[in-house]
Structure 1
Amino acid sequence: MPGFELGESIPPDTAHAVSVSLPTWKSNVGYEEGEEWVIGRLTTGYPRFFVHKIIAAFAEDIVSRHGRPGQQAMLFPTPKVARRCLDFVRQRVSPELSRQLGVIDLALDTSKDLSALLKKLAPTVSAVVFPEEVFSVAKQYWQHTGDGTSSRRAEFCHGLFQDHLLVPTAGAHAAHEAPGRPFRGPKRYQRPGSIDGVPPATPRTSSPKEPEESLESSQFLEERFGRNLNLSMVERAKSAIRRRIAGALAHEVDLNNGPLPSMTSNTRGIQGLEEGDVYLYPCGMNAIFNAHRALLKAREPRKSINFGFPYVDTLKILQKFGPGCLFYGHASAEDLDELEAKLKNGERFLGLFCEFPGNPLLTCPDLARIRKLADEFDFAIVVDETIGTFANINVLQFADIVVSSLTKIFSGDSNVMGGSAILNPESRYFKALKATMEEDYEDTYWPEDVIFMERNSRDFDSRVERINANAEAICDVLRAHPLVQSVYYPKYNPSKPHYDACRLPNGGYGGLLSVVFGRKELAQAFYDAMDIAKGPSLGTNFTLCSPYVILAHYLELPWAAQFGVDPDLVRISVGLEETTALQDTFRRALKVAEDVSRS
């Protein structure tokens, strides 16, 4: 997979790829600075940060047909989701601009002669329309919540829209007022290149070489569903995914041949866990967003706790949606001491959100101690297990809700998004959370995405086993090199006992690690020389690396540094390649860094 050109999708020639090639350190900085030589070459990007060109083209067509000049649109899967975005934006713009916002709900035109299959699928898209100067604020909602429509949904629905089969519903409306004065959102969302604020993508244009997946998708859409993705198989695929996540379905199953085996046991160690306690979402961040929403509704709304250096949007969700957030960036024993003192002094919280391990330092919080505090002082625990993965660890024993990004190693193929949330049936909040989910859960996971996710995840366990071994082999190479200042990996971190307390008998230490050289020029030389895929995301079946802190925290590098996160850290997501060949790739890159150190 090496040798990607700048801006090429990762994997190459994949219409719905979830990563993009940024092959040099300079190109990552150029991306963050919004430089045209980088931005102009991007064919795609990570879907919550980059509005896919398929989605952008559909949004433009909706505005062209139903909106006004100067307007833009952001697409969501359902009317309910779109109105959450609308409320978010209205709270953050002037009254004048607020009057120019609207929603266009699109659904099937039932007056037309439609097949039973299409009626059963009942595809919908809702467009939040706004003056173009409001884009940066609407983009915050899109990015933080993961509520936006998927590119496959947009592709399917765009075809129906072009054939006038997807039309505005009664009561759908766009704002028609004249454009008002410009509104300036937070600086991070004005910057055209920031991973936190990528500009609206230009409409998709034809290219000499259309991705194979796109060619297949561009066939008559209803025929595609009828031929490849019948809806009964979609429901069975969801069931297989949920059981896999519950730890009750480790082997491959034939979705066309009889019922799925019953859930008699699971690797989660929770006797009463059922398939219905696992909820699917269109991406991992959407699972976190909805876990927070469910807690706010099921319990008395209070501030939450973000424990450990956070993935950027988890902290933003807790800060921007609800009463706010108390942040502990080290996930240390001292942080827990301080939290315990606050609790004993009478402060109360909604829930504690943490990652296990954290990203990018792979630090593990003391879940056993946190559980004791939660039981004593009545707060929920939400654990993001994306990096550890449930093939390696069991964190449900300590958590009330476990969330995960299925986009990562569960899928592995880097061509589909997904997320999950598990409610622990042994939690004291289970009954209230279950009632909230029964009332509020909306399944917005697009059927095509479900099918890809189920297929990709069938060999999840065996892939994780190989990736664990490869990651340790890479650690051996890096830790032995004199230029390497630090290697962050759960097996070698001081928090290893906390990881081991959750590690399964046959579990490893995961496929993510980070390396720090201590000198920027060495990190740059190493990164540029790596003959592997380089871009955002993690958990891919191929090794993928990025200067993670540059991408995730470019405008707040000093803030990140105070939590021990080096601005020149290189994060490596290890893949399935042959082990010795992979080690040799790293040795060659280290040799280039050696040459730079001597010059």
Structure 2
Amino acid sequence: MRNIEVGQSIPPDTAHAVSVSLPTWRSNVGYEEGEDWVVKKMTTGYPRFFIHLSIEAFARDIVDKFGPHGYRAVLFPTKRIAARCASFVKSLAPPALAESLTVISLVLDTSNPAARALEPLTPAISAVIFAPDAFPFAKQYWQHTGDGVSSRRAEFCHGLFKDGLLRLDDSTPRSPTAAAQKLCRGPRRYRRTSSIDAGKKPQPPLSPTANGHTNGHPTGNITASEDSESTRFLEERFGRNLDISFVAPAKSAIKRRIAGALRANHELGAAPLPSMSANTRGITNLKESDIYLFPCGMNAIFNAHRALLGARGPMKSINFGFPYVDTLKILQKFGPGCVFYGHASESDLDDLEAQLKAGARFLAFFCEFPGNPLLTCPNLVRIRALADEYDFAVVVDETIGTFANINVLPFADIVVSSLTKIFSGDCNVMGGSAIFNPNGRYYAALTSFAQASFEEDTYWSEDIIFMERNSRDFASRIDRINANADAICAILRPHPAIAKLYYPRYVKSRPNYEVVKLPGSGYGGVLSITFHKKAQAVAFFDMVDTAKGPSLGTNFTLTSPYVLLAHYQEMEWAREYGADPDLVRISVGLEETDAIVAVFKEALKAAEAVEDST
């Protein structure tokens, strides 16, 4: 795995991979410095930080057709989201740049009969088009919110666009540039039967499968007079492995896994899905409709914040614990701001309680459990008591702990998670979830906001299918990963080159973890280490024979100089909160235990050699 070349996808040769190989310490620095020898080799990257090449290609084609020469675009799944991005950019950019913005929306051209088979997919795209200097502002929105299109949606819709099956939405204001363009009606195979064909014998549509579908798409209202060649071409070009009949049950299966009501490997359609009442969350009135799916984990956090602002009104929030970078940015940039407690300590809670007693009031309390990358576990019992007494919501990100190991829902109003990580495991699809606690104080108001403002179709159907397939063995994978992480800790913890080991079993806040730990579970697959000297960290990282890149929770072990990669421009700030700039984070995978332990023993020898040479 160490031999994956810089800039190549992780996993290798994976079109929609969500990690990228940065195999040496120097390559991570080169990425952060924007050095060509790294950046120009990148075929992909973490999707909120690196806009996928398929998305960029589609954006360029949209600009070529509808925008001024030399402009750029970012793509979103709905008009409302594109409008939010435009408003965000206008609030930050200089007036001249703000005036350059236009938003166009493309929808399926259902005047083409063959295209009607794709209507259930709602293959829409909205583009925010702007002068190049406005890109950094648009990129902020893309990165922080997770609202952008997925690479699979972009790839699918780009094909439709090229073949004339997308048209301007009727409600899209037509700029002079756009008005001068005419959308091609597409190849002849997509056009309505003309009068010259009237004497031909009508061809029947493709025969439906046992599911009532034609090669993966609903038969819908396709008539016998439709050109069968056009339908066949459409199915072959766009059908791939996507059977729309599986999308709804796949959503249900994902939600039941998130609830802990479905833990065994379950083939869709093989048997009814289990009841939601028997779940590992310990809440018998939890319903499938209380669980919301989003295109990525950060989008779940962004929408949880939106929902709370909508339900409770504008107030500052609390960000508790050293944060994943974009959670703090969301709270700072999308609303009245936040109060930041970076240590997640009891003394931080003492200070918060003093503020509350003095009259301070807050919208919500956001924390990770455990934190990333320091694996600190906040005191949820005390936090819940303060929330009940002083009327604020509690939002817990359980991504690192995973809901197969811990149950934090009884202490939270909203629980969010990145499904991209260990729930998927395969590192080839994004996803996120949010659970509204049905027994929470704000449940009714949050649900009302969600019904009016959440857009379910933003989670692309292909991504749902991949996520459901990947997650079928989620529960059994956790057991192996827990065991491997324990075995790796056993050789790291006593090693003389290691200054600190961060893992829920060994951190000072372990008692807080035990409160929510499920019976028979473990302590997760993420751990971090620091060394006595930077040279030791570099030698260890360069030697360790694992995949090396951003993300975590993969089925293979993935190592990263996390603070360098996530906080390169603010490393001294990170140090103030205990995050050493030379920290190495390890996300443990499913390898044979003896084999992965041997890998880390070899890497430790490299760190020892540094010590011996000084």
Q: TM-score, normalised by structure 1?
A: 0.92
1:421 aligns with 2:456: no
Contact conserved, 1:73 with 1:127, CA < 8 A, in 2? yes
Separation in structure 2 between the aligned mates of residue 589 and residue 86 of structure 1, nearest angstrom: 48
The worse-fitting range, judged by mean Cα deviation, of 436-445 and 339-348 is 436-445
Give the structure 2 partner of residue 511 of structure 1: 525
Contact in 2 for aligned 1:103/1:174 (Cα 8 Å): no
The CA distance in 2 between the partners of 1:558 and 1:254, in whole Å, is 49
Give the share of equivalent positions with the same residue, in percent. Answer: 66
Please list the CA deviations of residues 301-357 of structure 1 after superposition, one character each: whole Å capped at 9, or x if unmatched: 100000000000000000000010000000000000000000000000000000000
Hey, what does 1:297 align to over in structure 2? 310
- Structure 2: distance between partners of 1:87 and 1:384: 28
CA distance in 2, matches of 1:49, 1:243: 30
Matches within 5 A, 1:96-245: 96-173=96-173, 222-223=235-236, 226=239, 228-245=241-258
Q: 1:557 aligns with which of 562, 571, 576?
A: 571
User: Structure 2: which amino acid aligns with 1:473?
Assistant: A
Shift of 1:394: 0.2
Query: Could you say what secondary structure the match of 1:249 adopts?
Result: coil
1:209 counterpart residue number: none
Q: SS state of the match for residue 74, structure 1?
A: strand
Counterpart residue type for residue 463 of structure 1: R
Corresponding residue for residue 493 of structure 1: 507
Q: Is the 8 A contact 1:100 1:176 kept in 2?
A: no
Distance of aligned partners of 1:486 and 1:171 in 2 relative to their CA distance in 1, 3 Å threshold? same
Name the SS of the counterpart of 2:100 in structure 1. Answer: coil
**Separation (CA, whole Å) in 2 of partners of 1:51 and 1:256:** 36
Structure 1 CA distance for aligned equivalents of residues 241 and 580 of structure 2? 47
How far does residue 96 in structure 1 lie from its aligned partner after superposition? 2.0
Query: Equivalents in 1 of 2:318, 2:125: separation in Å?
Result: 34
Please give the root-mean-square deviation of Cα atoms over the aligned residues, in Å: 1.5
Q: Residue 308 of structure 1 corresponds to which residue in structure 2?
A: 321
Deviates more, 1:17-26 or 1:115-124: 115-124
Could you tell me how far apart the structure 2 residues matched to 1:226 and 1:62 are? 23
Secondary structure of 2:498's counterpart equals coil
Amino acid at match of 1:15: A
Number of the residue aligned with 2:398: 385
Following superposition, the deviation at residue 100 of structure 1 comes to 1.1
Counterpart CA distance in 1 for 2:359 and 2:4 is 55
- Structure 2 counterpart of 1:36: 36
CA drift of 1:258 comes to: 5.2
Report the Cα offset of residue 111 of structure 1.
2.0
Q: Which residue, 333, 336, 340 being the options, matches 1:323?
A: 336
In structure 2, the partner of 1:190 is: none
Distance 1:41 1:248, change over 3 A: same
- Taking a change above 3 Å as real, the CA distance of residues 87 and 476 of structure 1, as seen in their structure-2 partners, is same
- 2:365 corresponds in structure 1 to 352
Partners of 1:553 and 1:90 in 2: CA distance: 26
Amino acid at match of 2:70: G
Matched, 1:90 2:90: yes
Task: Give the Å deviation of 1:3.
Answer: 1.7
CA distance in 1 between partners of 2:308 and 2:277 (Å): 29
Residues in 1 aligned to 2:123 and 2:415: alpha-carbon distance in whole angstroms: 29
What is the alpha-carbon distance in structure 2 between the residues aligned to residue 242 and residue 235 of structure 1?
Answer: 11
Tell me the CA shift for residue 264 of structure 1: 3.2
| Structure 1 CA distance for aligned equivalents of residues 85 and 240 of structure 2 | 35
Displacement of 1:253 in angstroms is 2.2
**Is 1:597 aligned with 2:611?**
yes
| Partners of 2:370 and 2:237 in 1: CA distance | 40
Name 1:196's counterpart in structure 2.
none
Q: Which amino acid aligns with 1:301?
A: P
Aligned to 1:286: 299
Name the residue aligned to 2:77.
77
Match of 1:479 among 479, 493, 508: 493
Question: Which of these residues, 250, 262, 268, is aligned with residue 249 of structure 1?
Answer: 262
Which of 579, 582, 588 is the equivalent residue of 1:568? Answer: 582
1:522 to 536, 542, 545: 536
How far residue 252 of structure 1 moved from its aligned partner, in angstroms, is 2.2
Paired residue type of 2:73: A
Q: Using a 3 Å threshold, how does the CA distance of structure 1 residues 256 and 116 change in structure 2: closer, same or farther?
A: farther
Unaligned 5+ segments in structure 2 are: 178-231
**Which shifted more, 419-428 or 262-271?**
262-271
In the alignment, residue 19 of structure 2 is paired with which amino acid? S
Contact 1:100–1:175 (8 Å) recurs in 2: no
The change in CA–CA distance for 1:174 and 1:564 in structure 2 (over 3 A counts) is farther
Report how far residue 40 of structure 1 moved.
0.8
Aligned to 2:450: 437
AA aligned to 2:422 is I
For residue 192 of structure 1, what is the aligned residue in structure 2? Answer: none
Deviations along 1:562-585, one digit per CA (max 9) or x if unpaired, are 001100000000000011111110
Match of residue 549 from structure 2: 535
Q: Which AA in structure 1 matches 2:155? A: E
Correspondence for 2:348 among 328, 335, 338: 335
Shift in Å at residue 225 of structure 1?
5.7
Structure 2 CA distance for aligned equivalents of residues 235 and 555 of structure 1: 43
Q: Does 1:373 align with 2:386?
A: yes
Change in Cα spacing, 1:225 to 1:458, as seen in structure 2 (3 Å) is: farther
Counterpart residue type for residue 79 of structure 1: K
Match of 1:15, SS? coil
Letter in 2 for 1:85: C
Q: CA deviation at 1:176?
A: 6.8
2:422 aligns with 409
Distance 1:224 1:272 in 2: 44
**In structure 1, distance between residues paired with 2:452 and 2:594:** 52
Per the TM alignment, residue 263 of structure 1 is displaced from its structure 2 partner at its CA by: 2.3
**Counterparts of 1:307 and 1:170, CA distance in 2:** 45
Identify which range, 164-173 or 88-97, moves more after superposition.
164-173
